[in-house]
Chain A
Amino acid sequence: MGNWERLVWNQRHLLLDGLVVTVEICLIAFAAAILGGLVLCLVRLYVRPLRQVAIALIEFFRATPIFVQLLWVNYVWPELFGWPGSFFTAGWVALALQSSGYLAETFRAGIEAVPRGQREAGLSAGMSHPLVFRRIVLPQVLLMVAPSLVNQFTVIVKSSTLVSVITVQDLMFQSQKIVNTWLDPIEILTATAAIYILVVFAVSALGKALADLLRRRYGLAAS
């Protein structure tokens, strides 16, 4: 038991700091991925001249391994664009890129699943296309894709362990630091795994509760 106390409990402040960074970077990446995915999907569907560009970007983001993207954004972007300036930013941008590719496709499926007649009902009442999208299509798409969104968030949490490679001081980074200091990996890595499991589990449970609540509220059949 001595090891647990020495390696885990006594290091709890380090671990907690790391957890805060993990949560931060994941939330920012998630928000950016939703926004990016929505933009990519709207451009793909509604902006004819840029359609092929959007498709290429979506495929590129989805097909490149997250590790490669991370290094690419961190080392190549500053050379090309002079941005991002920090490891933390590079971290969430890379995480967001990949997820935005997946979410763009998720959103597209959701938009195409809203029956055309509902849009026509809005138009025939004099609503403009943007108003129809915002008031009729988007809320239903969000309801529909809520489970996929939650799932994508857990993917981000798991992928986020890689940002320690570019020295972002997240939970994984701190845990490795402790391992390297004490050269005793068993307890600390086990504890780290347990924390990640708890976070992912909590996110899933919360997401499921939210989706159930929304479905019940709107009287939509569970799907």
Chain B
Amino acid sequence: MSSIPAISVVDVHKSFGPLAVLKGVSFDVPRGSVVSMIGASGSGKSTLLRCINHLETPSAGEIYIDGEPMHFRVAGDGQRKPRPIAEINRLRRDLGMVFQQFNLWPHMTVLGNVVEAPRRVRGLKRSEAGELALECLRRVHLLDKAGEYPARLSGGQQQRVAIARALAMQPKAMLFDEATSSLDPELTDEVLAVMRDLARDGTTMIVVTHEMRFAREVSDRVLFLHNGLIEEAGAPEEVFGAPKSERCRQFLSKYLPKYVQ
């Protein structure tokens, strides 16, 4: 296995007008590892994920996917040029994104949702794409719902379809933005179970979450984001067990009662 990280984030800044949301964030996601990102609302977690797959354009800095710069490329004369949109689309295929709001396409069946991108983007034949889609639905335990429309599924099932849809592009890494935050507590576990399976199978993942127990059990590394900067980073036992930063301690105390002092 090469030592190039699956995802490398280098000094990424992002501002919306005068509002600086990310102020220089850097970290690596080695292949096959799970990085969890925690932090208060508004700390910039979603913005960071969205910068990684170019739903937002970073104001400065660069993101490398398997060593390839996502936003810029170096021209023959050594100058950095913004990538044309077609190239960005190509690189984006390598990152699967799962959103808090599922964002399934309501006019397509479950199977239709999952085959869509493999067929139209990767150009697979109908039969190949279908087989691939069924395999992905099997991984999220929803083979029996292939013919249903999303509106007839529970929130947990919809989110699992969204995961299957992202997996069907066979991405190099998966990005989860609070995948369970809009689910009722009793539906959260079925989604987390699927994510656990993915982690165990060696999927590279960045997981933004408020499920601290999950982050602690599954992650190889945990990042605590505060005000657009990584305030604390480390192995889960370090960050959850003995946070160095006072802010991180305060944040965790809301979730893990043992920090209340």
Size of the chain A interface, CB-CB below 8 angstroms: 23
- A115 CB–B CB distance under 8 Å: yes
Check A120/B93 contact, CB under 8 A, given A126-B121, A218-B149. no
- A123 CB–B CB distance under 8 Å: yes
A-B residue pairs in contact (CB < 8 Å), sample of 14: A120-B97, A121-B103, A121-B165, A126-B90, A127-B89, A127-B120, A135-B120, A140-B105, A143-B107, A219-B106, A219-B151, A219-B152, A220-B106, A221-B151
**CB 8 Å contact bits of B118-159 with A (1 = contact, 0 = none):** 001100000000000000000000000000111110000000
C-alpha gap A100/B103 in the complex (Å): 31
Q: Which residues of B contact A10 (CB under 8 A)?
A: none
Cβ < 8 Å to B, chain A residues 45-101: none
C-alpha gap A124/B98 in the complex (Å): 9
Is B151 in contact with A124, judged by CB distance below 8 angstroms? Answer: no
A119 CB to nearest B CB, Å: 9
A123 CB to nearest B CB, Å: 7
A140 is contacted by which of B53, B89, B106, B116 (Cβ under 8 Å)? B106
Q: Which residues of A contact B53 (CB under 8 A)?
A: 124
Is A125 in contact with B93, judged by CB distance below 8 angstroms? Answer: yes
- A117 CB–B CB distance under 8 Å: yes
**CB 8 Å contact bits of A99-143 with B (1 = contact, 0 = none):** 000000000000000010110111111111101000110011001
Q: Which residues of A contact B120 (CB under 8 A)?
A: 127, 131, 135
Binding site for B on A (CB under 8 A): 115, 117-118, 120-129, 131, 135-136, 139-140, 143, 218-221
Is A124 in contact with B95, judged by CB distance below 8 angstroms? Answer: yes
Size of the chain B interface, CB-CB below 8 angstroms: 31
B162 is contacted by which of A121, A136, A140 (Cβ under 8 Å)? A121
Check A120/B151 contact, CB under 8 A, given A125-B166, A136-B105, A140-B107. no
Known pairs A219-B149, A220-B151, A221-B151; list 4 more (Cβ under 8 Å): A121-B165, A124-B166, A125-B93, A219-B150
Q: Which residues of A contact B101 (CB under 8 A)?
A: 115, 117
Check A126/B107 contact, CB under 8 A, given A117-B99, A117-B101, A121-B99. no
- B23 CB–A CB distance under 8 Å: no
Is A120 in contact with B103, judged by CB distance below 8 angstroms? Answer: yes
Check A125/B103 contact, CB under 8 A, given A135-B120, A219-B151, A221-B151. no
B105 is contacted by which of A121, A123, A124, A131 (Cβ under 8 Å)? A121
Check A126/B92 contact, CB under 8 A, given A219-B151, A221-B151. yes
A123 is contacted by which of B55, B165, B169 (Cβ under 8 Å)? B55
A141 CB to nearest B CB, Å: 10
Q: Which residues of A contact B150 (CB under 8 A)?
A: 219
- B10 CB–A CB distance under 8 Å: no
Cβ < 8 Å to A, chain B residues 2-30: none
Residue of B nearest to A125 (CB): B117
Is B107 in contact with A128, judged by CB distance below 8 angstroms? Answer: no
Is B107 in contact with A127, judged by CB distance below 8 angstroms? Answer: no
